[in-house]
Amino acid sequence: ILNVEQSPQSLHVQEGDSTNFTCSFPSSNFYALHWYRWETAKSPEALFVMTLNGDEKKKGRISATLNTKEGYSYLYIKGSQPEDSATYLCAFPDPNTGNQFYFGTGTSLTVIP
Amino acid sequence: DAGVTQSPTHLIKTRGQHVTLRCSPISGHKSVSWYQQVLGQGPQFIFQYYEKEERGRGNFPDRFSARQFPNYSSELNVNALLLGDSALYLCASSRFSGTRTDTQYFGPGTRLTVL
């Protein structure tokens, strides 16, 4: 079992604030890291697949960075909006088989209007 | 294009019963994975099937079984239900198996309550 940790567990921010949270994963034998957004009563939605050390990916106001040497990825949201309220999950594919994804417990973001 | 669909949406069972959950993947996707998500935790991997063959199994008891059909849809079966099986069961489809960069697309889940 691989350890994937996310912090903080939950976050409340005001509309317009920028925020960021962390996903930590095993730094050895890295292949990829996936980020998902999961809104209440909906399906988890894929955001990014991070593969290269130093990678930075962007989707609108959301961006993610990757440090494979130290085993962490940051997700940033610029100018948070109420519609950004969701749980953000990271998932680390099993480096040996690739079949099993290990998920963190998620960061629950609430954006207060 | 239709996304991943799961049925039923909600289910209430009593201890000792068995349950069958169903999943239809995105058209063209040959791999289906099943996850269990309990409150406060991230999804936990149960099974992956690809081309009707089991390609991965998580740390779940033998009461859990699954299969994949020729049309790539899948069923998850749980026998002798326990209270601890109460959870959201998520199905995810992807094009391939074992490619760590391949995105998994999730369905909305089946909420199972065991009384």
Beta carbons of A44 and B100 less than 8 Å apart = no
Task: Please check whether residue A91 is in contact with residue A103, taking contact to mean a CB–CB distance below 8 angstroms.
Answer: yes
* Chain B residue with minimum CA distance to A97: B98
Q: Which residues of A touch B56 (CB under 8 A)?
A: 94, 97, 99-100
Report in angstroms the alpha-carbon separations of B64 from B23, B46, B94, B96.
15, 8, 21, 23
B1 — pLDDT class (breaks 50, 70, 90): low
pLDDT digits (tens, 9 = 90+) for A45-101: 999 999 998 999 999 999 999 999 999 999 999 999 999 999 999 999 998 888 899
Beta carbons of B41 and A102 less than 8 Å apart = no
pLDDT digits (tens, 9 = 90+) for B74-109: 999 999 999 999 999 999 999 988 788 899 999 999
A13 — pLDDT class (breaks 50, 70, 90): very high
